[in-house]
Structure 1
Amino acid sequence: MTGRSYTEKILLKAVRLDTAIYSAHTNLDVLNNGVSRKMAEKLNLKNVRVLVPLKNRLLKLVTYVPENHLDKVREAVFEAGAGVIGNYDFCGFSAHGAGSFRGNESTNPFVGEKGKVHFEKEARFETVMFTHMKAQVIKALLEAHPYEEPAYDIYALENDNIGTGMGCTGELSEPMAEAEFLKYLSAVFEARGLRHSRLTGKTVNKVALCGGSGGLLFRDAIAAGADAFVTGEIKYHTFIEAGERLLLTDIGHYESEKFATEILYDLIIKKFPKFALRFSEINTNPINYL
């Protein structure tokens, strides 16, 4: 590193000050309580939903447990992060039947005798998990399961992950005229350089949001039935393409993400309640306005 670029200067200064840097980008964008959700919170939107859910990120976990150990195993995999569907957690299903197995001479079966076929009353328990949680959930399963060799299956799911994804939609507490809505945005986000498409004359009720450079999601906003789409960067030709199908609003990249520090603050203070935290008062927006 030479310190020629803005990023290199930051890294070199961090090294000199023995300071750790945590950088969250797309992961914070798609988080259920991430950047776009924080925008919705600041606008007091209700009925908030993900605009573009993530795909191919869900797995189905199925395991077979002795009936009297079901609660222990179920609790363990839920605590490890499995069983989340949208705004619900601890989601699972169980059915009862009989399992059979026979261990060889090197085994030490929890029930039954080695070398003999054993039938045990078992529960088939199934739940869902995100792909990135696979290792920790399976670890919890194996630790809680009483069998020497627990049986479990993992299936890839085609379902959209409705709890995480890019952007979100929500409804205003009360519908607003477009001009009133633009003033509201400007005040909430302190957007001095707010840009918008031509007013359509429609009332704004349903709003689509995407923090950062989310201009390409305007088609998804239209498909979702939004009256307005708010993001941090929109190209010239996107304004043309959107026409008067909805109110397109660019509040500024920095302005759309400025409250991300509150997200990180809440996450850290929840994990480390005695940790001293302080919000920086330095304005790092590289764009200035007259």
Structure 2
Amino acid sequence: MAVRGESLIRALEEWAPPSLAVERDPIGLQVGDPGAEVTGVLVTLDVTEEVVDEALRLGANWIVSHHALIYRPLHHLRGDRPAGRLAAKLLKNGINVYVAHTNLDTAAGGVNDVLAEKLGLENAEVLAPHFRERLKKIVVFVPEDHHMNVLNAMCEAGAGWIGNYSHCTFNSRGTGTFLPREGTNPYIGQQGKLEQVEEVRLETIVPESAQARVVQAMLEAHPYEEVAYDIYPLDLPGRSFGLGRIGRLPEKTRLKDLAERVKQAYGIPALRLVGDPDRPVSTVAVLGGSGGRYARTALERGADVFITGDIDYHTALDALAAGLALIDPGHHVERLVLERVCQILREKWAPPGMKVVPTNVHRDPFQFL
């Protein structure tokens, strides 16, 4: 049975919803047809000609990229220019490109969580929140013999989370009534007779992003032909999402020792350091990509050191004056998320035999001499 691009996109967006992206970030399907069959998936940081050639060798007609192929408005597509040549190669060979950028940075288990995990940061929190998810309460009435089936189906689909507790619900018993009319096929009772059934009122909390998925799971698990349920908006703060993470090292260490740990954990040959190498540090902020603009946020959140890429001269000078140490491991360390993306897709989407692999050809454009 053919697997279409829509299912791949759906799996990616269940993990890293577009709502988590910062405003005007160009994400989503940038080249191709969502209805195209998937023959294989190549995951990359950037889409280059070398990556496209790699996809062709692998027989993968879908590329999942962290950085956008089309970031700024295009004024032309010329075959004698790199952008036009690359677009022509993609279209000619039927290769589709899907982009997950700041939504992947922000998502739980995404870029910034991977970077924090590699350093062993404890009690890591969002550094710079920009999105708070809306919460809903869903109430459904279930016959007692299907109560736990429906409860488990809803919770496995994403309902019932409060902090690190799952399957949080409230259940009360009562009597439901209904009268099946002509044309019905009732699970309980018969047409033309008023029925009274012992039911459970099952209520739980659900994040807005999971609402459709939870409702679908509920309907599939529920035995009734017509399911009675209600959904209420809640005036409660949902989970906070944003860029970067801030946490503590297991034990205080010198800045130069942390820098060596970063090199080893991120697999890089060199980095740039701002601050006294012998300074003790314990609270660390990290933000994948180009995060210099968040140096002030890291300082205000109590970070001793901020780890991010593409730090400019004036940001470094200001941080030094303010007492914030900086470590710049480069932008390319975001590549560490590629295996996580592959893992998620293999576990939650890929059918048996489907190739889902990270690129082996894309490299950091910078070299150290």
State whether residues 133 and 207 of structure 2, in contact with CA within 8 Å, keep that contact through their aligned partners in structure 1. Answer: no
Quote how far apart the aligned CAs of 1:71 are: 0.6
Query: Compared with structure 1, are the counterparts of its residues 207 and 99 closer, same or farther at alpha carbon in structure 2 (3 Å cutoff)?
Result: farther
Residue of structure 2 equivalent to 1:281? 360
State whether residues 180 and 194 of structure 2, in contact with CA within 8 Å, keep that contact through their aligned partners in structure 1. Answer: no
Structure 2 CA distance, aligned partners of 1:88 and 1:6? Answer: 50
The residue correspondences of 1:205-284 to structure 2 (distance < 5 A) are 205-242=282-319, 243-255=321-333, 257-270=334-347, 271-272=349-350, 274-284=353-363
The residue correspondences of 1:72-111 to structure 2 (distance < 5 A) are 72-89=149-166, 91-103=167-179, 105-106=181-182, 108=184, 109-111=186-188
| Secondary structure of 1:82's aligned partner | coil
Deviations 1:127-168 (A, max 9, x none): 333323222221121222233332323233432315x53222
| Secondary structure of 1:129's aligned partner | strand
Quote how far apart the aligned CAs of 1:279 are: 4.2
Residue of structure 2 equivalent to 1:32? 108
Quote how far apart the aligned CAs of 1:169 are: 2.5
Root-mean-square deviation (CA, aligned residues, Å) is: 3.2
Quote how far apart the aligned CAs of 1:103 are: 4.0
Quote how far apart the aligned CAs of 1:202 are: 4.3
Residue of structure 2 equivalent to 1:139? 216
Query: Compared with structure 1, are the counterparts of its residues 241 and 70 closer, same or farther at alpha carbon in structure 2 (3 Å cutoff)?
Result: farther
Segments of 5+ residues of structure 1 without an aligned counterpart are: none
Residue of structure 2 equivalent to 1:16? 92
State whether residues 66 and 122 of structure 1, in contact with CA within 8 Å, keep that contact through their aligned partners in structure 2. Answer: yes
Structure 2 CA distance, aligned partners of 1:216 and 1:154? Answer: 40
Quote how far apart the aligned CAs of 1:200 are: 8.9
Query: Compared with structure 1, are the counterparts of its residues 5 and 266 closer, same or farther at alpha carbon in structure 2 (3 Å cutoff)?
Result: farther
Question: What TM-score, normalized by structure 1, do the two folds share?
Answer: 0.80
Query: Compared with structure 1, are the counterparts of its residues 192 and 245 closer, same or farther at alpha carbon in structure 2 (3 Å cutoff)?
Result: same
Quote how far apart the aligned CAs of 1:35 are: 0.7
Structure 1 CA distance, aligned partners of 2:81 and 2:269? Answer: 27
The alignment covers a number of residue pairs equal to: 287
Structure 1 CA distance, aligned partners of 2:157 and 2:365? Answer: 41
Question: What TM-score, normalized by structure 2, do the two folds share?
Answer: 0.65
Structure 1 CA distance, aligned partners of 2:267 and 2:339? Answer: 16
Segment of structure 1 superposing worse, 51-60 or 30-39: 51-60
Structure 2 CA distance, aligned partners of 1:286 and 1:224? Answer: 32
Segment of structure 1 superposing worse, 261-270 or 240-249: 240-249
| Secondary structure of 2:97's aligned partner | coil
Segments of 5+ residues of structure 2 without an aligned counterpart are: 1-76
| Secondary structure of 1:22's aligned partner | strand
